Structure 1
Amino acid sequence: MLLRYTGVFACLGFLSLCWAYKVTPIIGDDVYPFVKIGNGYYYIENNKRANWYQAYIACRKMGAELVSFETREELDAMDAYIPIEYSLRQYWTSGTDLAVKGMHVWFSNAEPLADDVWYPGEPNDAGGNERCDILIYKGTGGTAINDRQCDSVELYICEVPLPKEVSFIW
């Protein structure tokens, strides 16, 4: 009898070591109100303006973060998506130097902003109080990042973090 139970438990133990549990992504087929742009999912607020803090809270309430452009390619994908008639609009990003003045990082991941995403001459901390970063259109076309006062009222872009695929071996 003991030999039988030992064999059953050994078999179950072996099967549990071979079986991996896969975490399913939170993004399914229905991603409304988010749109797929490049490799990410974004919500672009084109109607309601908010200051940087209010925009951050609005994104968090949707399970998202203010957008972070980790690469120039991600910024270019957003530029290609936003219609030209919105070229005078400005959007909050998660970029800020609130933690250390002069050191702009993406608030959502603490990574520094790349040099190639800035508008020429930015960040300049005009007036000594530009601590949050917006997406703007350059006069010659394309988008770039500019620092702005955090209490300015702008539109905003939220980004859903891409799910990470994880396997657990038991």
Structure 2
Amino acid sequence: MNLKLLTILLVALDGSSTLTFVRRSPFHYEYKDIFYYFETFYKATWFKAFMSCSKMGMQLLSIDSDEEFDKIHEFLKDKIEYKPELSIWTSGAMKRIGQFNWINTGYPVRLSKWHPGEPNNYGGREYCLKIWINDNRFLLDDDRCDREMHFICESRKSSSDCIFYII
């Protein structure tokens, strides 16, 4: 192993900083102080998506503003084919009927980017929040948590984080 790389790893692992691994790929995106990773290799239920992000040292996507939502949309529009019914998990989960919160922060979802008539808790079983592309519209929708779909992980960068890219 390269001595310089070993030194960097030892400094990073000394306990004073957090080590986060982020895959550098065409599906990796940075905006402000957040790194995003769009998982395209497999689909997962909401729970498995949550755990997959955790295993990478990341969290399932939480979106703080309509501006951030639009930036994520721009990124995905350039990277994926808009297929009818394409769905992507976020960390949104129902707290009470009609009220969603981000599971990572506990904050309410305060976005205006909902499909018309959503969230509707169709059949009384839609407790998880997804981004849904329908009629070429990229908007939020509630869905059953046991459905499998792609997902986005995120990692918020802080001054003590040490980011290593796997190329």
1:87-102 mapped onto 2 (5 Å cutoff): 87-88=83-84, 89-97=86-94, 99-102=95-98
- Give the TM-score, by structure 2 length: 0.74
> Residue 107 and residue 155 in structure 1: after superposition, are their counterparts in 2 closer, same or farther (change >3 A)?
same
Where 1:117 maps in the other structure, the secondary structure is coil
Letter aligned with residue 92 of structure 2: G
Alignment of 1:115-126 (within 5 A): 115-126=111-122
Letter in 2 for 1:113: V
Q: Name the count of aligned residue pairs.
A: 140
C-alpha displacement at 1:84, in angstroms?
Answer: 5.0
The offset of 1:87, in angstroms, is: 4.4
CA contact 1:64–1:159 (8 Å) conserved in 2: yes
**1:32 aligned partner:** 23
Aligned-partner residue type, residue 153 of structure 2:
C
| Post-superposition CA distance 1:51-75 (Å, at most 9, x none) | 0000000000111111011101111
Residue 148 (str. 1) matches residue 139 (str. 2):
no
More helix by share: 1
5+ long unaligned stretches in structure 1: 1-22, 166-170
Task: Give the corresponding residue for 1:137.
Answer: 133
> C-alpha displacement at 1:90, in angstroms?
1.1
- Give the number of the structure whose residues are more often strand, by fraction: 2
Question: Which of the two has higher C-alpha Rg?
Answer: 1
Identity %: 30
Q: Which runs of 5+ in 2 are unaligned?
A: 1-15, 161-167
Using the TM superposition, give the Cα deviation of residue 120 of structure 1 relative to its aligned residue in structure 2, in angstroms: 1.5
Q: Per-residue deviation at 1:26?
A: 5.0
* Corresponding residue number in structure 2 for 1:59: 53
CA RMSD for the aligned pairs? 2.3
